[in-house]
Structure 1
Amino acid sequence: MAQDKPSDKKQSGTARVLGSASAGICEIAVFHPVDTISKRLMSNHGRITSVSQLNSIIFREHAKEALGKRLFTLFPGLGYAACYKILQRVYKYGGQPFANEFLTKNFKDTYESWFGAKTGKALLSASAGSLIGIGEVVLLPLDVLKIKRQTNPEAFRGRGVLRIFRDEGFGLYRGWGWTAARNAPGSFALFGGNSFAKEYIFGLSDYSSATWVQNFVTSIFGASASLIVSAPLDVIKTRIQNRNFDNPESGMTILKNMAKNEGITSFFKGLTPKLLTTGPKLVFSFALAQTLIPAFDKLMK
């Protein structure tokens, strides 16, 4: 009787937390200014026709200051961003393996009978990512505060974090449905693209045995697929979140106004800079987490 192909090795929960948290810390340290630029471009409603206009959109009221001073203005909301990003990466990169193990234990035979062993395994990983992505809405308030600090700081009006949580309450979950709708296919594509690349490009039966280079290459496939699939819903989500607290607007209203006034291409605003900027950020953190989690697991044995 033929033996089954070796499956993924299981890392400890501590290793998953440490590896994904370390990836989140490195990501925020390197890429927060890039994220600020991306969010400001997505929040811009008009067409960009000149370099000076682009400069004004990115640096706002600091557009005419020296370059050094302008660059420091790209770090608004760093505290929110650090808290959100580290929790998000721990939840997403550290949580997906648990979801994957649950689905594999209960639905492996079904997936393999429908799609075959290799494709079924990759789709299990993608499905686990999608479930984790939907649950990510729990962290939405921190994402809302980060985006408002980056794109609409006047919304705070001198209020601190605790005051905002007290005043706004569940209003901080505004746009949760659109966020879940974005995260489900986005996370499916992220983990699915990564897994398909490991299966069909590198022929890995144990995903955790991938080298840094292999993780980096497969993360490019996953990150690119994720950003393209989630782009339209991400633009709507960002516009919901960057408005003043006292001037909310529903996602459907934003969708209709965008289609009417800005055209279909507006749903992909910021996609090119996102692929060029957020893409490397996602590739970097995803590849780093996949490399560090097994490394921490070995260190603790």
Structure 2
Amino acid sequence: MGDVGPIEYFFYGGVGGMCTVLVGHPFDTVKVRLQTQATPKPGEKLKYQGMIDCFQKTIRKEGPLAIYKGMVAPIVTITPIYAVSFMGYRIGRELIGPKDLKDFRNIHYLGSGLFSGFFTSTVIAPGERIKCLLQIQEEGPKKYSGPVDVVVKLYKAGGLPNIFKGYTMTLCRDMPASGMYFLTYEALKNYLSENGTVDMTVLKTILAGGIAGMANWFIGMPGDVIKSRIQTSSEDTSPKARTILKELLATEGPTALFKGLIPVMVRAFPANAAAFLGFEYSKRFVRYYILGIPPEQTK
């Protein structure tokens, strides 16, 4: 009775997803703008010199709400994405790990997380395509008026494949990143408490969730840079990941694969701390106050 099943993980993960978007979207907007800004010509400087410069220029030129551009798409998509991610992780635990949670090892958490990343990529790819196209729109005439307009125009231009542009790279980014995400959280959760289900305080959950988010993005960052380039490329082009990788390494060096890392890391800690707080405490509320299951019986 105390075992939390995949359907419950879906619901609790969705709550975590909503918390994530509200906290982290401004940093994501800055990340995408840093990743997709044009390479300067000889003698010119980059448009944005870093995270703070990007924040300042965006707000000064476009207003404070500009850092929330494209948030409708992730609030609609990230809620089910996190729901599917946590549910996929729970299913992965059943398929990969031993029946008794006490017998779980780090390799089981990693494998379950990899399964989660595969599970969610189909949901993530179109949402991020829409989000990125809206985020790179700056001052002046807008090509897209909103998420629905993006979908309509993308579909008219190239059908469903155009909406799912960048799917393969999303998969390559998310599987290892998701594996590290859940492995880090579970390992820290086990380290910080005798019984993570009961003994994890708010501060411990924030710490474990925040560090898990940072680990997730450090692993996934190179793939994310390439994915952003693919998803924001012009409609008449279909750049290959290996071509983008070669160009980035040739023109900007290995550090190009970590463009936007600072705002990502600044965002990752609070956003994912919020995600796991939403997950853990919605789980505790529903199971204890609605279902009447004692906390010590929740697995």
1:247-262 superposed matches below 5 A: 247-262=237-252
Aligned counterpart for 1:151 among listed residues 136, 139, 149: 136
Q: Helix, strand or coil: the match of 2:288?
A: helix
Aligned counterpart for 2:63 among listed residues 45, 59, 70: 70
Cα gap change, 1:197/1:29 in structure 2, threshold over 3 Å: closer, same or farther?
closer
Q: Give deviations 1:49-84, integer Å, cap 9, x for gaps.
A: 689755775577x6654xxx5211222222212111
Q: Give deviations 1:210-237, integer Å, cap 9, x for gaps.
A: 3333222222332222121111111111
Aligned-partner Cα distance in 1 for 2:202–2:59: 39
| Preserved contact between residue 226 and residue 241 of structure 2 (Cα < 8 Å) | yes
1:299 aligned onto 2:289? yes
| Preserved contact between residue 59 and residue 67 of structure 2 (Cα < 8 Å) | no
Aligned counterpart for 1:127 among listed residues 101, 105, 111: 111
AA in 2 matched with 1:252: R
1:1-301 superposed matches below 5 A: 9-46=2-39, 57-58=54-55, 64-65=60-61, 70-105=63-98, 120-139=104-123, 140-152=125-137, 156=144, 159-168=149-158, 169-204=160-195, 207=197, 210-301=200-291
Q: Helix, strand or coil: the match of 2:67?
A: coil
Q: Helix, strand or coil: the match of 1:200?
A: helix
Structure 2 segments unaligned to the other structure (5+ residues):
292-299
Figure out how many residues of one structure are paired with residues of the other and give that number.
Answer: 280
Q: Helix, strand or coil: the match of 1:243?
A: coil
Cα gap change, 1:266/1:283 in structure 2, threshold over 3 Å: closer, same or farther?
same
Cα gap change, 1:249/1:51 in structure 2, threshold over 3 Å: closer, same or farther?
closer
Taking structure 2 as the reference length, the TM-score comes to 0.80
AA in 2 matched with 1:239: R
Q: Give deviations 1:248-279, integer Å, cap 9, x for gaps.
A: 31111110000000001111111122111233
Aligned-partner Cα distance in 1 for 2:244–2:46: 26
Aligned-partner Cα distance in 2 for 1:83–1:271: 25
Identity score, percent: 19
| Preserved contact between residue 93 and residue 289 of structure 1 (Cα < 8 Å) | no
1:27 Cα offset (Å): 2.4
| Preserved contact between residue 17 and residue 79 of structure 2 (Cα < 8 Å) | yes
Aligned-partner Cα distance in 2 for 1:52–1:231: 19
1:29 Cα offset (Å): 2.5
Q: Helix, strand or coil: the match of 2:230?
A: helix
Taking structure 1 as the reference length, the TM-score comes to 0.80
| Preserved contact between residue 9 and residue 208 of structure 1 (Cα < 8 Å) | no
Cα gap change, 1:280/1:49 in structure 2, threshold over 3 Å: closer, same or farther?
farther
1:12 Cα offset (Å): 4.5
Aligned-partner Cα distance in 1 for 2:127–2:255: 29
Aligned-partner Cα distance in 2 for 1:190–1:39: 21
AA in 2 matched with 1:86: T
Q: CA RMSD in A?
A: 3.1
| Preserved contact between residue 86 and residue 116 of structure 2 (Cα < 8 Å) | no
Aligned-partner Cα distance in 2 for 1:51–1:246: 25
Cα gap change, 1:52/1:274 in structure 2, threshold over 3 Å: closer, same or farther?
closer
Cα gap change, 1:188/1:85 in structure 2, threshold over 3 Å: closer, same or farther?
same
Cα gap change, 1:81/1:170 in structure 2, threshold over 3 Å: closer, same or farther?
same
Structure 1 segments unaligned to the other structure (5+ residues):
1-7
Q: Helix, strand or coil: the match of 2:63?
A: helix
Q: Is 94-103 or 42-51 further displaced after alignment?
A: 42-51
